[in-house]
């Protein structure tokens, strides 16, 4: 091999450089044709072509230059058909460099292609997303315009960027005149301060707010309620706020009225002197009771609510409760139900319960009012007792005894049973008063009634007939039994001296009622028998004539 | 003392060239082609040269805008004949064939007429259609291009020949390079190492055809 053949031709090197530069601007499909044509011009080369890996083996007449990036093969091998290897040999190193550079160019191009494809996919996705967003926004706008609520979007300085139809209609302006304006300019100062506070309170972690404020509309203050949502950028900077607002003036006024009504109800219900309760008409369970109820019964709210009036012992039984509810539901006037139960002190509580169904929306409640009649009942009882009882001794008085005797006469006549009458009189009672005083006398009378009362039956009569005189009626007792009792009574007085007056005696007249006899006649006979006992020396029992039963 | 030779940019990297250069511009996309065309015409008009463009992609409005952006009225220069626009088919393929002699005669006439009209130089940019290969064949095209270089020794008309890298094969492009002394690579005009002088090239062609 001569030295001359190894001389490098700068022109050939220039060709390699030119091809290297030119391929950058050539389209893919042109590159290999261009390169192979150019390499075919190299000294000693008859033809250049691109073959796939492994299609041909290198020989002395074939030089192969794999296109690789690192170890990774790329597209194939540049193969040169060599006629004069000596002529080519000075350029082999340059050829390898050329092929390496070509591979890098192709790799870069492939990567760019992939990036472009990815970019296209991304652009397509962005376009689709933008389209979807546009549609979504259009739907949002349409939806927001259909809403009766006011919808707006504004910047932190209150510049409106969007208003819906309802907003425009409310303020009687067009979107064109509102958008771009700062609503701070047409809100009253108090409202501006309120909105400024709300805007300042937005945080990325707390982007929503709800608040109320007043604005002037046609010169009148109206109430607005706004629900705002703030949008921030990635640094936490507040970008814009979206608001949905309602004119709540009517609601606000209704709430004031409601508050008044509630206060009224509280006063009428909580502090009503009657016991009041609200319950579920179906289950009978109490939902609420007033303060009077709690105070009167000495119970706490939680001890009452959830229980039925039957469980609290205020109602006789569940059946009666249901019946009352049915009557009320049927629109019939319910008769007051008498209630008797122990109060907080264990004393009897008397009341009259009346019910009424209250409808609140779809719900209905049983409103129960219990009138506290305890004091009336106690007064009545006391008056009744005073009318029928002797104030000093506590036994029945003569007035009651008159009625009793008439009733018992009727019963004895109807049932044909014996009816004895005893009139007892303390002997020399006047002396007690004179000697020991009236208090001692009273004490003796009280003790006498105690002793007499202890000997008779529940349904027998013991009444103070007057002064130191007592009357006893023993319905159904035969003459012998009556005589025996009379003797017992007499002996009890005689044998047990009185603490206040010492020894005393008792005279008793006994008369059995005779059929057809009036009460007066009967009493008179018993009185005659007493007179006889007195006359015969006192401290004895005398039996009236014609007393044979 | 001779006056200094007229030198002018042909639109690539503001390099100054004396009249009569023959440049091959292989482009990869339409934008590249259009930019080169506009810059070629703009620099030609600016340099006072009579500038011609033979291209199917000769957008008259784009040319007017490019000139207008640079303070030149297209209407005026066009009316004065300083800018001549023509389609490839009407210029290169007149009567449906491609005749190198006719084309060379047209270039020669254009050059002489330009100088007679007082232009310091004339330039032409042509965007060759690939159908030339079907109409005339590669040999005739390369013969023409090689003879343009010969013509330029006599009539130094500046010529930039545009070839669409997407429409011509790689092998064709390399052959086309061989008949252009200069070529554009990465936006710069460089001396073409593949270039074969016309005498040699045409002789080789003659030998090959025998």
| Full DSSP string of A45-94 | EEEEEEE-TTSS--BTTEEEEEEEETTEEEEEEEEEEES-HHHHGGGHHH
**Considering only CB atoms, which chain A residues are within 8 Å of B171?**
33-34, 36-37
Contact A298, A344 (CB under 8 A): yes
Instruction: Please compute the mean of the pLDDT values over residues B110-139 and round it to a whole number.
Output: 92
pLDDT digits 0-9 by tens, B73-105: 999 999 999 999 999 888 888 888 899 999 999
CB contacts of A26 in chain B (<8 Å) are 26, 28, 165, 170, 173
In the annotation, is A468 catalytic?
yes
The angle subtended at Cα B140 by Cα B134 and Cα B145, nearest 5°, is 115
Q: Is A14 on the interface with B (CB under 8 A)?
A: yes
Distance from CA of B111 to the nearest CA of A (A): 31
In terms of Cβ atoms closer than 10 Å to its own Cβ (0-12, 13-18, 19+), residue A145 is: middle
In A, which residues are within 8 Å of B172 by CB distance? Answer: 33
Q: Domain A147-253 adopts which CATH fold?
A: Beta-Lactamase (3.30.450)
Active-site residue (options: A356, A468, A494, A517) = A468
Task: Spell out the residues 6+ positions from residue A391 whose beta carbon is closer than 8 angstroms to its own.
Answer: none
The full set of domain ranges for chain B reads 19-209
Cα–Cα dist B165/B177, whole Å: 12
Q: Among residues B149, B35, B194, which one has the least CA distance to residue A12?
A: B194
Q: Do domains A4-114 and A389-543 have the same CATH topology?
A: no
Half-sphere exposure of A405 (CA within 13 A, CB side): 30
Those of residues 10-49 in B touching chain A at CB distance below 8 A are: 26-28, 32
| DSSP three-state, residue A285 | strand
Average pLDDT (B135-154) is 93
Mutation for testing the A interface, residue in B26, B138, B171 having most A CBs under 10 Å: B171
What token pair was written down for A15? 């060709």
Of B165, B174, B191, the CB nearest to A37: B174
Q: Which of B26, B172, B175 sits opposite A25 (nearest CB)?
A: B26
pLDDT (mean) for B111-119? 94
The reply to whether A436 touches chain B by the CB within 8 Å rule is no
Beta strand B50-54 with B122-128 is parallel
Taking residues B13-20, report their average pLDDT.
87
Predicted local confidence at residue B120, as pLDDT:
92
pLDDT (0 to 100) of residue A24: 87
Q: What chain B residue is nearest to A38 in terms of C-alpha separation?
A: B174
Query: A4-114, what's its fold?
Result: Beta-Lactamase (3.30.450)
pLDDT of residue A56: 60
**pLDDT tens-digit series, residues A178-207:** 999 998 887 788 888 888 888 999 999 988
Residues in chain A, pLDDT under 50? 1-5, 549
Domain A389-543: which topology?
A: Alpha-Beta Plaits (3.30.70)
Tell me the CATH number for domain A271-377. 3.30.450.20
What architecture (CATH level 2) is domain B19-209? 3-Layer(aba) Sandwich (3.40)
Residue A486 confidence (pLDDT):
96
How many angstroms separate the CA atoms of A356 and A353, rounded?
A: 10
Coil vs helix vs strand at A332: coil
Hey, is the C-beta of B169 within 8 angstroms of any chain A C-beta?
yes
Show the tokens assigned to A341. 């139960």
Domain range list for chain A: 4-114, 147-253, 271-377, 389-543
State whether A25 and B186 contact (CB < 8 Å): yes
Q: Residue A21's closest chain B neighbor by CA? A: B185
pLDDT of residue A335: 67
Strand, coil or helix: A419: coil
Question: Residue A163: CB partners within 8 Å, gap ≥ 6?
Answer: A150, A151, A152, A153, A175, A178, A179
Which residues, 6 or more positions from A19, have their beta carbon under 8 angstroms from its beta carbon?
Answer: A34, A35, A38, A39, A98
């Amino acid at each position: 091999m001569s030295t001359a053949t190894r001389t490098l031709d700068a022109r050939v090197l220039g060709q390699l450089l030119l091809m290297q530069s030119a391929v950058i601007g050539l389209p893919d499909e042109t590159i290999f044709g261009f390169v192979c044509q150019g390499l075919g011009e190299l000294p000693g080369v008859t033809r250049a072509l691109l073959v796939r890996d492994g299609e041909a083996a290198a020989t002395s007449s074939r030089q192969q230059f794999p296109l690789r990036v690192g170890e990774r093969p790329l597209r194939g091998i540049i193969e040169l058909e060599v006629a004069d290897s000596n002529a080519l040999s000075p350029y082999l190193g340059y050829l390898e460099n050329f092929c390496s550079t070509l591979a890098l160019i192709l790799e870069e191009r492939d990567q760019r292609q992939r990036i472009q494809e990815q970019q296209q996919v991304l652009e397509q996705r962005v376009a689709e997303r933008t389209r979807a967003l546009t549609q979504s926004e259009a739907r949002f706008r349409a939806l927001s315009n259909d809403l009766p609520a006011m919808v707006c979007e504004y910047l932190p300085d209150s510049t409106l960027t969007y208003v819906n139809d309802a907003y425009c209609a409310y303020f009687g302006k067009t979107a064109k005149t509102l958008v771009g304006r700062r609503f701070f300019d047409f809100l009253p100062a108090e409202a501006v301060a309120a909105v400024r506070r709300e805007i300042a309170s937005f945080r990325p972690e707390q982007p929503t707010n709800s608040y109320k404020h007043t604005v002037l509309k046609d010169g009148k203050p109206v109430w607005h309620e706004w629900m705002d949502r703030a949008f921030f950028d990635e640094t936490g900077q507040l970008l814009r706020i979206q608001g949905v607002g309602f004119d709540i003036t009517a609601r606000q006024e209704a709430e004031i009225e409601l508050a008044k009504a509630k206060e009224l109800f509280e006063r009428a219900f909580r502090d009503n002197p009657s016991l009041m309760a609200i319950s579920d008409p179906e289950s009978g369970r109490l939902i609420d009771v007033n303060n009077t109820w709690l105070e009167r019964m000495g119970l706490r709210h939680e001890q009452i609510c959830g229980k039925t009036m039957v469980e609290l012992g205020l109602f006789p039984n569940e059946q009666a409760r249901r019946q009352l509810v049915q009557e009320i539901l049927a629109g019939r006037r319910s008769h007051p139900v008498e209630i008797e139960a122990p109060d907080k002190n264990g004393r009897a509580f008397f009341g009259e319960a009346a019910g009424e169904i209250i409808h609140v929306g779809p719900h209905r409640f049983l409103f129960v009012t219990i009138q506290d009649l305890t004091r009336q009942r106690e007064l009545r009882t006391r008056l009744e007792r005073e009318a029928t009882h002797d104030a000093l001794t506590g036994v029945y008085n003569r007035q009651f005894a008159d009625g009793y005797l008439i009733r018992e006469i009727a019963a004895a006549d109807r049932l044909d049973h014996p009816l004895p009458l005893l009139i007892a009189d303390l002997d020399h009672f006047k002396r007690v008063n004179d000697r020991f005083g009236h208090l001692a006398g009273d004490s003796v009378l009280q003790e006498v009634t105690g002793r007499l009362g202890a000997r008779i039956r529940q349904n027998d009569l013991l009444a103070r007939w007057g002064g130191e005189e007592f009357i006893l009626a023993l319905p159904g007792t035969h003459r012998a039994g009556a005589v025996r009792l009379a003797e017992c009574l007499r002996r009890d007085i005689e044998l047990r001296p009185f603490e206040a007056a010492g020894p005393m005696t008792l005279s008793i007249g006994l008369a059995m009622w005779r059929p057809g006899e009036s009460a007066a006649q009967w009493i008179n006979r018993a009185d005659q028998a007493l007179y006889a006992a007195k006359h015969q020396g006192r401290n004895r029992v005398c039996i009236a004539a014609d007393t044979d039963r | 003392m001779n006056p200094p030779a007229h030198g002018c940019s042909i639109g690539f990297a503001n390099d100054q060239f004396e009249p009569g250069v023959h440049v091959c511009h292989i482009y990869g996309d339409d934008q590249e082609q259009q930019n080169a065309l506009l810059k070629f015409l703009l620099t030609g008009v600016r340099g006072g040269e009579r500038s011609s463009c033979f291209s199917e992609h000769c957008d008259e409005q784009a040319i007017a805008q490019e000139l207008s952006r640079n303070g030149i009225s297209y209407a005026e220069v066009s009316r004065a004949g300083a800018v001549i626009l023509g389609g490839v088919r009407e210029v290169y393929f007149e009567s449906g064939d491609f005749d190198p002699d006719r084309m060379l005669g047209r270039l020669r006439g254009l050059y002489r007429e330009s100088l007679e009209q007082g232009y310091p130089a004339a330039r032409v940019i042509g965007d060759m259609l690939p159908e030339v290969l079907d109409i005339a064949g590669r040999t005739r095209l390369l013969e023409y291009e090689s003879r343009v270089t010969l013509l330029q020794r006599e009539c130094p008309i500046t010529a930039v020949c545009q070839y669409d890298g997407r429409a011509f094969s790689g092998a064709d492009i390399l052959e086309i390079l061989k008949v252009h002394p200069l070529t554009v690579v990465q936006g710069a005009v460089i001396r073409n190492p593949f270039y074969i002088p016309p005498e040699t090239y045409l002789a080789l062609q003659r030998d090959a055809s025998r």
